[in-house]
Structure 1
Amino acid sequence: MIKLCGFALSNYYNKVKFVLLEHGIPFEEVFVMTSQEESLLAHSPLGKVPYIHTEHGDLCESQAIVEYLHARFPEKGIFPADPWEAAKERELITFVDLHLELVVRDLYKEAFFGGTVTDATKGRVEKLLTRHIAGFRRLAKFDPYLRGAHFGAADMAAFVSLPLVGMTTQIIYGRDFLLDAGVDWKGYVKVVGERPAAQRVTADRKAYIAATSKP
């Protein structure tokens, strides 16, 4: 059985977990925190989560894991059979993961963890996000899902990461960059959140927050 290693607060852990749950792929969750300890680096070379453990060994990076699951379980249809539609799903995932979440991640230290980031960093992130969100808006249909009527892998990535973009920009800049650009991520997340797999991911994340917030 596949072992999914990480913790329920990680959006990329939840991205992979959403895929596993949505497509009925059996897996076991193993609690692992990020660290630079050799015991973790032996499994995840940068000490990050998620990673999965399989009979063949370990695999890290969320998108590599999703691609592996698609190849290993082709009958699950994680990506569409049509090459164009599959490529468009991957295109949207790239925008969500790399052009939106990875950019705003530079602000998490101040937004969520009590630290500070420089004005130069804030200015750079604002410039990049403004351009990247405009590009994302040209691609995403939100009718009701990113590619239209069909729910796909891109929606699982967006469900766990778009809220972070919106909340972080609201905290740091006093305005939600996504909403300002016409991306109703709250309505979208509500629609996706009706799916049982999404509800499980959300419930487990909230339970983790509640458990770790206790004095």
Structure 2
Amino acid sequence: MIKLCGFALSNYYNKVKFVLLEHSIDFEEHFVKPSQNEALLEHSPLGKVPYLETEHGDLCESQCIVEYLAARFPDKRIFSADPWQAAKEREMIFFVDVHLELTVRNLYKEAFFGGTVSDAAKGRVENLLTHHIAGFKRIAKLAPYLCGENFSVADTAGYVNLPLVGMATQTIYGRDFLLEAGIDWKSYVKTINARPAAQRVTEDRKAYVAASRAS
């Protein structure tokens, strides 16, 4: 049995979980939070989540995990059967995960966790995001899904990451960079949330947040 290790507040954990649920792949969830504890480092070399425990060993990094699942379960058709379309799905995931989310992640300390981000860092992020969002807009179809008329694996990344871009920029700069660029991520997320797998991911995340506040 595949074991998905992490916790429900992690967007990359939820990306992998969405893929597993969407394609009806059996798995167990194991609650693990990031740390530099030696016990965790034996499984995840940087102490990050998610990571996967398999009969072959451990695997970290969300996109590596998704690629492994696609190769291990070819009948699930996680990526498009058409090589070009599959490549475009990978391109879209890279844009969302790296150019958007990993850029805006530099703001999370202040946007979500009560810390402070320097004005210089905010300026750098603003410049990068403006450039990256313009590029994203050139390839994102949003018709209604990221790659066109049909739901694809790219939407598992879009669903968990685009809200973070919108919310973080709204909090830090007083304006939502995605909406400002004409990218209606709120309607997009509503469309994705009609899927049972997305609903499960969201419900589990909300339950985790509620339990954390109550403790």
What is the TM-score with the length of structure 2 in the denominator?
0.99
Write the deviation string for residues 107-140 of structure 1: whole angstroms up to 9, x where unpaired. Answer: 0000111110111100000000000001000000
Match of 2:132 in 1: 132
Q: Deviations over 1:129-168 (max 9, x none)?
A: 0000010000000001011111111001000000000000
In the other structure, the counterpart of 1:120 is 120
Aligned residue in 2 for 1:50: 50
The corresponding residue for 2:37 is: 37
CA distance in 2, matches of 1:17, 1:8: 9
SS at 1:126's partner residue? helix
CA distance in 2, matches of 1:18, 1:157: 9
Structure 2 portions without partners, runs of 5+: none
Q: Does 1:152 align with 2:148?
A: no
Q: What is the DSSP-based 3-state SS (H/G/I as helix, E as strand, rest coil) of the residue aligned with 2:53?
A: strand
Cα distance between partner residues in 2 of 1:41 and 1:87: 32
User: Which runs of no fewer than 5 residues in structure 1 stay unpaired?
Assistant: none
**Which AA in structure 2 matches 1:93?**
I
In structure 1, the partner of 2:168 is 168
Instruction: Provide the rounded CA distance (Å) in 1 between the counterparts of 2:88 and 2:54.
Output: 28
1:201 counterpart = 2:198: no
Q: Which amino acid aligns with 1:32?
A: V
Partner of 2:10 in structure 1? 10
In 1: Cα distance, 2:121 partner to 2:13 partner: 26
Partner of 1:108: 108
Paired with 1:16 and 1:147, the residues of 2 have a C-alpha distance of 19
After the TM superposition, which residues 28-107 of structure 1 pair with which residues of structure 2 at under 5 Å, given as runs? Answer: 28-107=28-107
Q: Runs of 4+ in structure 1 displaced over 6 angstroms?
A: none
Give 2:176's aligned amino acid.
D
Q: In 2, distance between residues paired with 1:85 and 1:193?
A: 23
Percent of paired sites with the same residue:
75
Aligned-pair CA distance for 1:99? 0.1
TM-score (norm 1): 0.99
Displacement of 1:79 after TM fit? 0.2
Question: Partner amino acid for 1:213?
Answer: R
Deviation of 1:214 (Å): 1.1
Distance across 2 between alignment mates of 1:92 and 1:58: 26
The C-alpha deviation readout for 1:181-215, integer Å capped at 9, x for no partner, is 00000000000000000000000000000000115
Structure 1 vs Structure 2 CA RMSD? 0.5
- Measure the CA separation in 1 of the matches of 2:8 and 2:90: 24
Q: Supply the AA of the counterpart residue of 2:98.
A: L
Quote the Cα distance in structure 2 between the aligned partners of 1:203 and 1:187. Answer: 18
Separation of aligned partners in 1, 2:60 and 2:115 = 28
Counterpart of 1:102, as a letter, is L
- Range with greater deviation from structure 2 (145-154 or 92-101): 145-154
Distance in 2, Cα, partners of 1:28 & 1:148: 32
Cα deviation per residue 1:94-114 (whole Å; 9 max; x = unaligned)? 000000000000000001111
Query: What letter corresponds to residue 46 of structure 1 in structure 2?
Result: L
